[in-house]
Structure 1
Amino acid sequence: MAFTNVALNALKPKEKSYKRADERGLYIEVMPSGSKLWRFKYRLYGVEKRQSFGRFPEVSLAEARKLRDEAKALISAGRDPAIERRQAKLVAALTAETTFNSVAREFIEKMAADGRAQTTIDKSLWFLEQLKPLQPLPVGQIRPADVLAALKRIEAQGKYETARRCRSFVSRVFRFAVATLRAENDPAAVLRGALRTPKTKHHAAFQKPEQVADLLRSIDEYPGSLITRLAMQIAPHVMARPGELRMADWQEFDLENAKWRIPAERMKMRKPHLVPLSRQVIAYLRELAQLTGPTGFVFPAFHTWKRPMSENTMNQALRRMGYTKDEMTAHGWRATASTLLNESGKWNEDAIERSLAHTDRNQIRGTYSRGTYWNERVDMHQWWSDYLDQLRNGGALISFDDTVDPTGQKVVNLAARRERRLRG
């Protein structure tokens, strides 16, 4: 006889548990404690089995019958409802424990195992720290609206570039989650265009020879750490990114053959880079070797030689010397070298780009322009160091309006040189 709610409520406990049947295998078991538990009895492949649906009245009569009908549908399809429900609970538990924070950290650990640069790892951890609202959420349940709210929180602080890069980081984490079967899609992908586009801001850099001359003299007179001073003296000559320079290891340098080989994992483009060393740079390095060589970091941290110099050390030194962040940065030496070398009209533009470790933006040209321009770059780096010495020592400034390139061909100015290259 089918149950009614009145009949269910009337069931009283006894000394021993007892059962009362509803319909189609559903029944309730009344325990001596007074608990009333829903059970479902069924047969699958000739084996009698039971499944629990929960406690009455938390699970109502209608809900118990719905669960029974769903179980019968699975049985008709040859599937065991008890196993299916147990697996669903495991998936739900795993989903609840698989938060954005845990998946993101696993993704960052994978990046480290894949050999990504430490600066990239540190930056990813910093992005994760900016995304606190997403950290406790189950990664498989995060919606585009959740991601947008977290990004808008960053954007509201005026950090437009940070918000944009955080969106990209979130997208990479979700692609990893999808690949590892913990999410079905990337909710950050649909948010392209939803954030404000930051204005492009270049690293502050001096462009005029007389400014460079004053700065070089100021560096020579820097009263702080000798290691910091030598780092700032070397930086203008080698055209490397500050991170590539400050993390340099002595084993990367071949002073006899005047070469510095930077490994791929420390390069922005993930390709090894070879830097020609001028006589001036070699002299600085030999002086530095007496302080920090012959092994380990070339520019160790102030308090411990187990870590490299801080990424802010050279910029802080520039501030102590009176140069603001809007005037000059350690990274700005690359722009200074690019500007003055191009304006000199002496050097192939591709050779300059190779020394800056830039990837050609023109993909077709980049494919066919495979030369490293090594010999020209050796000459160029020595010329550049000589020119910096000339500026620092107060020599006459070289005019770039009418000069001669290494082939002996006179060029009127940089614009004419570029126009001639385009015609060719």
Structure 2
Amino acid sequence: MTLTNTTCKNAKPRKSKYRLFDSSGLYLEIMPNGSKYWRLKYRYLGKEKVLALGVYPLITLAEAREGRDRARKLLAVDTDPSQAKREKRRQAISKAANTFEVVAREWHENQKGKWTPKHAVNVTRRLEVDVFPYIGSRPISEIDPPELLNSVLRKIEKRGALDVVARVKQICGQIFRYGIATGKCSRDPSADLRGALKTGKTQHFAALDIKEMPAFLSALEKNDARLFARTRRAIRLLMLTFTRTTELIHAAKDEFDLESRMWEIPGQRMKMGKPHLVPLSQQAVQIIKEQMEETGHINTPYLFPGQVKPGIPMSNNTILFGIGRMGYKGRMTGHGFRALAMSTIKEKLGYRHEVVDRQLAHAPRSKVDRAYDRAQFLDERKVMMQKWADYLDAVANGKVVIGRFGKVA
């Protein structure tokens, strides 16, 4: 005889636990303390087993029968209901543990050894500001393309920060791919968002043409803008070495070997994470000596310390604003010296692209390029850097340069 709701409700506890059977192995077990538990007795691979289906009355008789029927369907396809229940619980625990934020921080920890400290901080900040507040607590395996698009990327896009949204999408894609590799999710939803986001026009750093350099050099020399000598030296040295602005302003005094005329930038300060050699022209060495003479009495590791706070390096904006005060706002930037050097050294001094490119420390374009070390073309680069400095002197002195200057065979 099958159970009824009244029978279940009126079942009283006894000194020992006892069972009230329903059908197909389902029964209600009543404990001496009055608790009532639904159980299902079944056989799997010749062994008798018991599956817990919940507590009465939280689980009603009808719901217990539904649980029994689901278990029997699993048995029909040769699946152990108890094992299936344990696997479901394991997956639930895994989802709860492997939220997007947990996996992202694990990925970050795994990657940060390959990054500069500044880049590692920037990635963390970007995630904490634009991603974690919206999907950080979500199981990474449950995040689909629409959720990533609408909950995260569209919010950034609406701010007009199209460069940021592209970087965040890229970071999220790397996190999802790490999740796939470590078994925490099965797909990368960012891969399905191609074409779903607005893209901005590529904006290049403002840079002067070599024809405009005589006037620029004259303005720098006359100094009607009344720039500090330190700022003018930084602009000159940036022009002569065409490093990235951050690489120059964070340069430590002990990175320079003036006797060998070489500046070695540590890998942790380079965009590509690898040490970089910068041959120094005689003109560059003279600027560095003047700068060290000015700041030699200051307790600071930096070649270009801050004017007010020497314990920190010169601000990136010091150079940018200095160029602006010279009358070149929007027309030239510190980074613009890199573009100027690349085009002019190739066109006027006749050097091959790969030589200048190596000096610019650009990302290698192929595995073959990556195999080359930091000293590639170094002897040629030493000569090139001196010729570049001499060429700029010739421009500053008003010499007219026609065709190639000091052509390299």
- If the TM-score is normalised by the length of the shorter chain, which range does it land in? 0.7 to 0.9
Distance 1:367 1:163, change over 3 A: closer
Map Cα deviations across residues 215-256 of structure 1 (whole Å, 9 max, x no partner): 5337796545x6555433321111111233233344433221
Distance in 1, matches of 2:99 and 2:331, equals 44
Q: Is the 8 A contact 2:250 2:302 kept in 1?
A: yes
Quick check: 1:237 aligned with 2:240? yes
Distance 1:21 1:344, change over 3 A: same
1:140 match: 141
Alignment partner of 1:314 out of 316, 319, 339: 319
- 1:14-29 correspondence to structure 2 within 5 Å: 14=13, 18-29=18-29
Normalised by the size of structure 1, how large is the TM-score?
A: 0.78
Percent of residue pairs bearing the same amino acid type = 35
Distance 1:359 1:164, change over 3 A: closer
2:207 match: 205
1:164 match: 166
Quick check: 1:258 aligned with 2:261? yes
Distance in 2, matches of 1:219 and 1:45, equals 92
Higher mean displacement: 282-291 or 294-303: 294-303
Q: Is the 8 A contact 2:225 2:326 kept in 1?
A: no
Structure 1, unaligned runs of 5 or more: 410-424
Distance in 1, matches of 2:95 and 2:222, equals 59
Distance in 2, matches of 1:4 and 1:217, equals 100
1:52 match: 52
Quick check: 1:275 aligned with 2:274? no
Distance 1:18 1:368, change over 3 A: closer
Higher mean displacement: 32-41 or 150-159: 32-41
Deviation at 1:155, TM superposition (A): 1.6
Higher mean displacement: 151-160 or 226-235: 226-235
Map Cα deviations across residues 369-418 of structure 1 (whole Å, 9 max, x no partner): 999333332222122223334555xx21432x3345335x8xxxxxxxxx
Higher mean displacement: 163-172 or 249-258: 249-258
Distance in 1, matches of 2:33 and 2:149, equals 50
Quick check: 1:120 aligned with 2:124? no
Deviation at 1:123, TM superposition (A): 3.4
Deviation at 1:266, TM superposition (A): 3.6
1:415 match: none
Distance 1:49 1:223, change over 3 A: same
Distance 1:269 1:368, change over 3 A: closer
Higher mean displacement: 249-258 or 201-210: 249-258
Map Cα deviations across residues 333-370 of structure 1 (whole Å, 9 max, x no partner): 11122233234244333332222223575x59969999
Distance 1:55 1:315, change over 3 A: farther
Distance 1:336 1:41, change over 3 A: same
- 1:91-110 correspondence to structure 2 within 5 Å: 91-110=91-110
Distance in 1, matches of 2:83 and 2:89, equals 10
Structure 2, unaligned runs of 5 or more: none
Map Cα deviations across residues 272-328 of structure 1 (whole Å, 9 max, x no partner): 4321101122222233445369994444566474x655544433444565543x222
Q: Is the 8 A contact 2:300 2:310 kept in 1?
A: no
Q: CA RMSD in A?
A: 3.7
Q: Is the 8 A contact 1:206 1:327 kept in 2?
A: yes
Q: Is the 8 A contact 1:222 1:229 kept in 2?
A: no
- 1:326-341 correspondence to structure 2 within 5 Å: 326-341=330-345
Distance in 2, matches of 1:6 and 1:397, equals 108
Alignment partner of 2:388 out of 349, 359, 384: 384
Q: Is the 8 A contact 2:214 2:398 kept in 1?
A: no
Distance 1:18 1:360, change over 3 A: closer
Q: How many residue pairs are counted as aligned between the two chains?
A: 399
Q: Is the 8 A contact 1:13 1:33 kept in 2?
A: no
Distance in 2, matches of 1:218 and 1:36, equals 94
Q: Is the 8 A contact 1:344 1:403 kept in 2?
A: yes
Q: Is the 8 A contact 1:227 1:299 kept in 2?
A: yes
Distance in 2, matches of 1:288 and 1:313, equals 16
Secondary structure, aligned partner of 1:188? helix
